[in-house]
Structure 1
């Protein structure tokens, strides 16, 4: 089941991360920790950092560099208007798909 879960997450992880950013701005490790708290324990940090680069390139987040007590400044990600629009579309698609899957499962 782990392989199937990984494959299914590939298509939804972007929306999941954007949903986390609706709560408050966060940097990569905070996002990874939150995902783990929510039960997504198998997601590697590298996967999240690559995803953050993609959503930054798509213009879905704003970036602020904040000083860190250890090492270089942290990139803090904040969901912007384009990200909110994308997330609304994600939830619409998710609601449709999950409804269809529930229908198929219960038939």
Structure 2
């Protein structure tokens, strides 16, 4: 299984978790994800995901002035997005527990 397949299943939740802390613009979000170990994240992966989350109602985007040039689109989480994140967290920790159990029991030492 390719890492990108695993990533697709968790990236939505990771993005929502970061944005739940504070509003953020796209490039800053890429840097945050890379700092947390998602080294392969690029704009071509992230920006369509942000658009999907915004269209779904989990995020709201707003253009704001930038001291460094053109306006930046900042994303903030919505109440619906917080609920989506809560659901993701529950499902993730449940799945992680099952996978940990199987791998711990069946992985040779």
Scaled by the length of structure 2, what TM-score is found? 0.90
Larger relative strand fraction: 2
- Name the counterpart of 2:53: 55
Unpaired segments ≥5 residues, structure 1: none
User: Could you tell me how far apart the structure 2 residues matched to 1:106 and 1:67 are?
Assistant: 50
Higher Rg of the two aligned structures: 2
Runs of 4+ residues deviating >4 angstroms: none
From 88, 91, 100, the counterpart of 2:86: 88
Tell me whether 1:8 sits opposite 2:12 in the alignment: no
Instruction: Kindly report the root-mean-square deviation, in angstroms, between the aligned alpha carbons of the 2 structures.
Output: 1.1
Q: CA deviation at 1:4?
A: 2.1
Tell me whether 1:22 sits opposite 2:20 in the alignment: yes
User: Could you tell me how far apart the structure 2 residues matched to 1:22 and 1:59 are?
Assistant: 14
Paired positions, count: 104
